[in-house]
Structures are given as C-alpha cells and as structure tokens.
C-alpha cells in the first residue's frame, strides 16, 4: 500500500516539475499525451486488473466521453470546466447500461460483446449525421476562454497541467477504489472466484460498480482529448485506441496501480521513437505486442520484482498465476451458477 | 415480390460468403477455444497470395488454390506451435493479445508489400449472369455457394467421422484424458490451428475472385466471423452455416427495405441480443459446460 501510494505521489510530483526542465511545445505535447494515456490505462486497468475480464470495446466509454464533451461544447457552448465533468457523467451512465448487459457474460463472450458495443457506437457516430456530423466528425471544439488567444507553448502548458490534474484524479479514484471494501472484494474475487462467492461476494454487482468507475475515468480521458485535439470523429471508437490501451496496461502490469502509469509513459515514448521507422512502425508495434505477451506475461511490474500489493502475503505455491487458476476453475463453477449475476449470489 | 426474391438470393450468397469466411474460426474459436483475432488476416493472406499466384505469376487457378491451402496450413501450424503454444492453458487473455499483435503485424506488413489497392484473384468462373425466374445471380456466385457447401460438408465429415476428428474433439473436451488415451495433444492443437488457417486462406482465395481483397480488411472479416460463430453456436459447422445465412439475409433485407446506413451494425446488434437471450449462441448445446 505504501509503495504504491509513494510511487503515485512521486509520479504526480515529478509530473508537476517536468515543465521546469523541458519547456517547449514538443516536450509539453509528449507530456500531455502521457497524461491522457495514464487516464486511459487507469480506466482499462480497473476492469482488466480488478474484474478480471477483458473488454475489447473499452473505447466505447472514451468515445462517448469525447463526443459528449465535443457536442456540449460546440452545440451548447458550455465551457470546458463543465464539459469534461459532464463527459465523465455521461460515460458513467453508459457504463451502467453497457455493464448491466455485458457483465452477464464471461470470457470470450464478454470480449466479443463489448467489442460489438463499441462497433455499434462507431457506426452510430458515422451514420447519425444530424447529431454527430457523421464521418466528418465534430471540429472546432473550443479551448478554455483564458487561453483562447495564447501562443502554442502557453496553450500546451495549460493543457499539461489540466491533464496532470485529471490524471491525478483518475489515479486517486483508482487508488480509493482498490483500497476500499469493494476493491478488496474485487481482488478476492479475482484471486479465487469460488471462495469469494462462498463468503457472499456478488460478482455482478461488484463488476457493475467497477464498470461505472472505469467508464467515468474513460469519459474523463475522452473529454480531455476532445478539447485538446479540438476534433472528434468516429475513429475514437476504433480499435487503434483499444490496442494502445491494452499495451499500456499489460506492458506496465495489470492489477497494479503503478503498472498502467509506467505502461502509459513507455508506450507514448515508444510511439515517438517508432515514428522514425515510418510505415514499418505498426508492424514493429505488432511484434512488440507479441513479445510482451510471451516474455512479460505479468508486465514490467511483475518483472521488476514482488508485487507490492495488499494481497502480497497470500500463500505462493505452484498454483500461482492465472494459468493454473483458470484450469481449475471450470470444475468449480458449473455454468448454471455464473450465467447471470443474480444466480451468482 | 420480385424484389424480395432478389434480396433473399443476395442474402443467401452473402450468407455463404460469411459462412465460408467464418469456417476456419469455427474450428479455432468454436472448438479449440482460441480467440483468434488474426483470423481475418489469414483470410487476407490467402486472398493476396492467391492474387499473386494467379495474376502476377499467371498460374492456373486450381494449382494456385492447392499451393495456397498448403502454405496457409504450414503457416497456421507454425503460428500455433511457435506462438500460441507458449501461452496455452493461461486463459483467453494472452491468446487474445497474441493474436491481436499478430494481426497488427500481418495487416501492416501486407500493406507495406502490396499497398492499399484492392486486388482481385483471377478465376475461371464466369461472371455471366444467370436468370432464375425473376432472380439474377452470376455464375461465379452460384459456384461459390456450391463450393461453400462442399467445404463445410467435408470439414464436418472430418470432425465427426474420422479418427483424427475424434482425437480433436477429445482433446478439446478434456486434454488430460485425451493424453491418457495416447492422443498427442500438442500435435492436435497444431493441426486444428493449421486446418483453421487453411480454411481461412482458402476462403480468402475463393471469395477474392468475386469480392476484392485488401490488405486492411482483415479486421472487419475477423469481426464478422466472430459474429457468425457466436450466432451459430460454438464449434458447430451447421451453426456456422446458419449464423452466416442469418447474418447475410438480415443484412440484405435490412439494406433493401430499411436503409443502407446501419447495415454493418446489424450483425453486432444481433450478437448482443443473441448473447443476452442465449449466452452460448443460438444453436449450441454447450450451455451445460462452462
């Protein structure tokens, strides 16, 4: 607990100080992308790391947040200080709805059905031209009034600190969640579903709470993105955001608070580094994903050493790791028990 | 009425297209339980390889088809033994990621090699239209439906009637028990993946003579194939056909009578609804197994 708290505090403090040494437009842009990525990765990590399911359509919440902020800003002229929180609220409501539907499913079915949701949303964004302007997207999203006439560096500095604040809020939400009773119940469920259920932990309800939180954080990232890029198109629901999110969470280490932060920093730098490789860079990216899965199955946090987590004292034996657990699980969970949330209780 | 008949005919052809492109995934995802996101890319490789052989090198269509089938089989076997085998038994997540990484790699490398231009496989089947009453259908499309039926029948026979097919089914039901009775399960995994890749590649080449093949279409092919397999139920060939036909017919009728705007969304909406009502697919009897 203390390690993670200290790490996160140090990371935020370091983030606050960086503009003092690297004060130019490019460095600030990289910093902003890191802040944005931390939000995304933290959001996905809540579900992958603590519900233990794999939502391949997590971009739904990011996209909903981005479109909400964009439309509220462009159509209603609301200021940035209200659009970003509202984006989080809209995404959270969507999270409640989508979670209530999808969390009844598990494993590959959950993966595919969440992906379907994101695809449907992408197609809606593409076709509901009256609202979303279709494939053209929503552009001209306002910058905050205080920096409207500012130069590039000043604008970037504003967004950098706004991003730092939002990233810190996301991490705080995540931290408070993980060390709350609900978070502990989620860890218990992740570690041993059968035992957790036997002591009265209700997976469906727990998943739903986590889903709403993750959606809110994703919406926050979306709102921030919309205002920073100043344009939102249907591609926000696309697979490329999903892939970067996945790599950040898994390369960093899922189910830890610090992992997604490390992953976000790494992936942003990696993307910048790979720019030199022009068209080859996506192929290299694909190979890196394969490499991470095979050589860093528990991410950098798992690689660095012991996982500094509240459950670190649990007995370690040959049964450790997802592999064995997953193989034991089917015998312990007859399908009738986990088809619907209610039956789980 | 004529419009309806024509739309149904179009839907059936489209359904055959979906069923054929999902056939390999029925094995790999439905039976083997590997969530293979590189399925569409294997389809694209088959199509592009077929195009390279028939158009660029001017080979005979059937000779090229044999070469494509063998090449994709070897590729599939290697993917399974070199990559997927390393994360076997660790749940779905690592394989999902592995195949996503692989699909990014294949799609972008293919893009580098052949560019963004859509290509068509040269085929001996004529695009001459046939008039069946009020319905117009090209010869090539009719041949496609027939080939689709033959392939599905052959694959089904292989799985249900041969020793190898029994060994495959045994392996996926209970790997340990299968090993106990002397089945070399690693080989079976590799072989199933190879067969899945072969079917994907063959579909890519066969369909690549009617529809175009693009380096970047793998993603949407994968998605539709997942839709078909889930609609039809896991691991059943009849289910894949049914799923393909349902998807094809719905899309054709929706496109004809409602609007073309949301045609692509229908499949995904169908999956969401299907899984809500029947969490294991429409025609699956697997509900009693987790």
SS (H, E, C) B104-131: HHHHHHHHHHHCCCCECCCCCCCCCEEE
What is the pLDDT at residue B126? 67
Q: Which residues of A touch B219 (CB under 8 A)?
A: 239
CA angle A15, A21, A24 (to 5 degrees): 95
Mutation choice for B interface testing from A117, A234, A290 by most B CBs within 10 A: A290
> How far is the C-alpha of A256 from the C-alpha of A303, rounded, in Å?
13
Residues of chain B by 3-state class (helix, strand, coil), percent to 5: 75, 5, 20
Summarize the confidence of residues B166-194 as an average pLDDT.
89
pLDDT tens-digit series, residues A296-312: 878 787 776 554 444 44
Rounded mean pLDDT, A78-97: 93
Q: What's the pLDDT score for residue B286? A: 52
Q: Which residue has the tokens 């694959």?
A: B155
3-state helix, strand, coil in chain A (%, to 5): 80, 0, 20
Chain B contact probe: residue of A50, A120, A297, A328 with most B CBs at under 10 A: A120
**pLDDT tens-place string over residues A220-247:** 999 999 999 889 999 898 888 888 888 8
Kindly report the pTM of this predicted structure. 0.84
End-to-end CA distance of chain A: 30
CB contact under 8 A, A56 and B91: no
Is B212's pLDDT higher than 90?
no
pLDDT higher than 60, residue B211: yes
What CA–CA distance (Å, rounded) separates B104 from B290?
Answer: 31
Q: Does A172 touch chain B (CB under 8 A)?
A: no
Q: Which residues of chain B neighbour A328 with C-beta distances below 8 Å?
A: none
Interface confidence, given as ipTM, is 0.84
The pLDDT confidence band at residue B140, using thresholds 50, 70 and 90, is confident
Long-range contacts of B48-51 (CB under 8 A, 24+ apart): B48/B110, B48/B114, B48/B119, B48/B204, B48/B208, B48/B213, B48/B215, B49/B201, B49/B204, B49/B205, B50/B121, B50/B204, B50/B205, B50/B208, B50/B209, B51/B119, B51/B120, B51/B121, B51/B122, B51/B208, B51/B213
């Amino acid at each position: 607990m203390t390690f993670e708290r200290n790490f996160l505090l140090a990371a935020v403090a370091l983030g606050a100080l960086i503009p003092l040494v690297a004060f130019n437009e490019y460095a600030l842009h990289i910093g902003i992308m890191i802040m944005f990525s931390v939000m995304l990765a933290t959001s996905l990590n809540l579900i992958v790391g603590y519900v233990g399911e794999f939502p391949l359509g997590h971009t739904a919440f990011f996209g909903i947040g981005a479109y909400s902020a964009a439309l509220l800003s462009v159509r209603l002229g609301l200021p940035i200080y209200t659009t970003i929180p509202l984006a989080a609220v809209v995404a959270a409501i969507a999270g409640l709805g989508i979670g209530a539907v999808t969390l009844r499913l598990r494993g590959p079915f959950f993966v595919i059905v969440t992906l379907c949701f994101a695809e449907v949303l992408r197609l809606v964004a593409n076709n509901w031209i009256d609202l979303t302007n279709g494939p053209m997207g929503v552009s001209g999203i306002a910058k905050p009034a205080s920096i409207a006439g500012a130069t590039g560096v000043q604008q970037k500095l504003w967004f950098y600190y706004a991003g730092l604040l939002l990233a810190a809020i996301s991490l705080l939400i995540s931290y408070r969640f993980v060390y709350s009773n609900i978070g502990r119940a989620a860890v218990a469920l992740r570690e041993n579903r059968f035992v957790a259920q036997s002591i009265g932990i209700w997976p469906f309800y727990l998943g739903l709470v986590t889903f709403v939180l993750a959606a809110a954080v994703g919406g926050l990232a979306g709102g921030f993105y919309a205002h920073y890029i100043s344009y939102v198109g249907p591609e926000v629901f696309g697979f490329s955001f999903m892939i970067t999110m996945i790599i950040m969470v898994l390369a960093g280490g899922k189910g830890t608070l610090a992992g997604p932060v490390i992953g976000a920093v790494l992936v942003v730098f990696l993307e910048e580094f790979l720019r030199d490789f022009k068209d080859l860079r996506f192929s290299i990216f694909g190979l890196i994903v394969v490499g991470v899965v095979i050589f860093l199955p528990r991410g950098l946090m798992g690689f660095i050493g012991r996982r500094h987590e509240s459950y670190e004292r649990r007995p370690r034996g040959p049964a450790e790791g997802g592999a064995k657990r997953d193989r034991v699980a089917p015998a312990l969970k007859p399908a009738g028990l986990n088809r619907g949330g209610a039956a789980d209780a | 009425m004529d419009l309806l008949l024509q739309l149904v005919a179009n839907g059936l052809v489209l359904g055959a297209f979906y069923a054929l492109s999902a056939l390999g995934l029925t094995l790999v995802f439905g039976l083997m339980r590997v969530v293979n996101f590189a399925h569409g890319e294997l389809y694209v490789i088959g199509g592009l390889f077929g195009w390279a052989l028939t158009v660029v090198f001017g080979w005979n269509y059937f000779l090229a088809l044999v070469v494509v089938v063998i090449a994709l089989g070897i590729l599939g076997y290697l993917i399974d033994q070199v990559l997927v085998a390393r994360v076997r038994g660790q749940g779905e997540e690592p394989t999902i990621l592995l195949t996503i990484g692989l699909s990014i790699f294949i799609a972008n490398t293919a893009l580098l090699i052949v560019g963004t231009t859509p290509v068509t496989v040269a085929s001996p089947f004529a695009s001459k239209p046939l008039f069946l009453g009020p319905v117009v259908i090209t010869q090539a499309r009719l041949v496609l439906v027939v080939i689709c039926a033959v392939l599905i029948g052959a694959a089904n026979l292989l799985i249900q009637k041969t020793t190898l097919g029994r060994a495959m089914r045994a392996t996926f039901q209970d790997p340990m028990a299968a090993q106990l009775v002397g089945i070399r399960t690693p080989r079976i995994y590799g072989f199933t993946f190879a067969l899945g890749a072969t079917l994907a590649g063959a579909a890519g080449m066969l369909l690549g003579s009617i529809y175009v093949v693009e380096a970047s279409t793998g993603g949407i092919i994968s998605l539709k194939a997942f839709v078909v397999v889930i609609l039809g139920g896991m691991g059943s060939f009849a289910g894949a056909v049914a799923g393909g036909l349902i998807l094809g017919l719905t899309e054709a009728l929706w496109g004809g009578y409602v609007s073309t705007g949301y045609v692509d969304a229908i499949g995904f909406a169908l999956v969401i609804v299907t899984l809500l009502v029947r969490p294991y697919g429409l025609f699956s009897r697997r509900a009693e197994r987790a």
